[in-house]
Amino acid sequence: MAVGLVTYQHLSNRVVEPDFDSKIKVDPSKVQGRPSSEVGYRSKFDSPKRIATYATASRTPLEDLQGTITPSDLHFERHHAGIPDIDPEQHELLIHGLVEKPIRLKLSGLKKYPSVSRICFIECSGNFRYGKREMTPGEVCGLTSQSEWTGVLLSTVLRDLGVKPEAKWLLAEGADGALMARSVPLQEALTEAIIAYGQNGEAIRPQQGYPMRLVIPGFEGNTQIKWLRRIEVTDKPVMTREETSKYTEKIKGGKIRMFSLVMDARSIITFPAYPKKIEEGWQELRGIAWSGRGKVAKVLVSTDNGKTWNEAHLQGPVLEKAHTAFKFMWNWDGKPTRVLSKAIDETGYVQPTYHQLVKARESKSGYHFNPVVGWDIEKTGEVYLADVEGI
């Protein structure tokens, strides 16, 4: 290794370093490449970015991703009062309420418990936008991302502290300026919830809750509190602002549905999709599907505007409460058409159309709205978002 280092240094003294940012074509086999570095970087020719929609949110560019794991720096953002800058040495997690031994845990204390890792998606319950043809998959439903989360099972910590018999719920609260807080049924939280401090092999990034956050696989994103500072075990929901005036859905009879919590099955085709252009002939139709109720059982795709449906290939591993990639080979004849996908999960739930959702709820609620989405392909090969109200 020492010899190699000396050789590189020797060569670098007599070889003119190329301008890597120049537009002039350089044969990479004729020049010395970059040296190693402390932190990796993407090629300047392939640099995906999140889709910033407003000050409190940015979306994952689903159309630019490979596989099902979202790079940490492309995980969607959603916050209510900006991203706090938290010193992990000062941060504490208070766990109190209906427990025998209340505790204040620092990050170092949390890491003394046995760790687990889990691959799952997180999705904002308001993850749907439409209204114009020129929208990418990320703009339509890019408020979902998937990571490998590492941390401690909440059940492990609560078992250590002792939960009182009357405990039925817990309140999780963040250390952000909004003091984001949500009530969660204790039984569901004890099943799978993780107090996470790691994401994709590194510490959770500030946008995702550094130094620790709650991860509840399959639950809506707003319950998975970032910058976690307090868990209070209670006998009933606390009825915070975020579960009364916010994050509720209008349903039949002028009623409001609360504590929907679990994300229903959905899918989206990520290729072909706007702004890509395709050519006549064989195409690999690609996309992702997911369900908060378990595994994706199958994905059906249509290449003729819903007249016929075919089962797509699911790329393994097919995990519970996780993004699953699907593929379907299709020979496009060059004629205008519409491609669609719909997910079916292991409970038998079928992703509904826009009209089925509106009919069932008698409303066009912005939360838990998961309609079938499609793409119109014109004879030129140009691809545009289909009108969901026409599917």
Q: pLDDT tens for residues 65-102? A: 999 999 999 999 999 999 999 999 999 999 999 999 99
For residue 26, being part of any structural domain is answered with no
Q: Are residues 62 and 171 in the same domain?
A: yes
Positive/negative CA dihedral, 193, 199, 202, 203: negative
Q: Are 304 and 243 found together in one domain?
A: no
Residue 159 falls within a domain, yes or no? Answer: yes
Burial of 336 (0-12, 13-18, 19+ CB in 10 A): exposed
Q: What would the DSSP string read from start to end of 247-261?
A: S-EEEGGGEEE----
- pLDDT at site 140: 98
- One domain for residues 298 and 370: yes
Does residue 30 lie within any of the structural domains?
no
**231 and 273 both lie in a single domain:** no
What's the start-to-end Cα distance of the chain, in Å? 61
Number of domains observed in the structure of the chain: 2
Whether residues 98 and 191 share a domain: the answer is yes
In order of 134, 277, 281, 300, 330, the CA distances from 334 in angstroms are 21, 12, 8, 22, 12
CATH of the domain at 271: 2.60.40.650
> Could you tell me the maximum CA-CA distance found in the chain, to the nearest angstrom?
80
Question: Do both 139 and 282 map to the same domain?
Answer: no
Residue 205 shares a structural domain with residue 289: no
Residues 296-346 pLDDT 10s: 999 999 999 999 999 999 999 999 999 999 999 999 999 999 999 999 999
Question: Tell me, what's the pLDDT at 21?
Answer: 58
pLDDT tens digit sequence for 232-286: 999 999 999 999 989 998 888 888 899 999 999 999 999 999 999 999 999 999 9
Classify residue 195: in a domain, yes or no: yes
d(CA 172, CA 83): 18
Residues 243 and 321 in one domain: no
Could you tell me which residues come within 8 angstroms of residue 339 by beta carbon, excluding any fewer than 6 positions away? 269, 272, 285, 301, 302, 303, 330, 374, 375, 377
Task: Compute the distance between CA of residue 95 and CA of residue 312 in angstroms, rounded to an integer.
Answer: 46
What local confidence, expressed as pLDDT, does residue 53 receive? 87
Residue 369 belongs to domain spanning:
266-390
Q: What is the pTM of this model?
A: 0.92
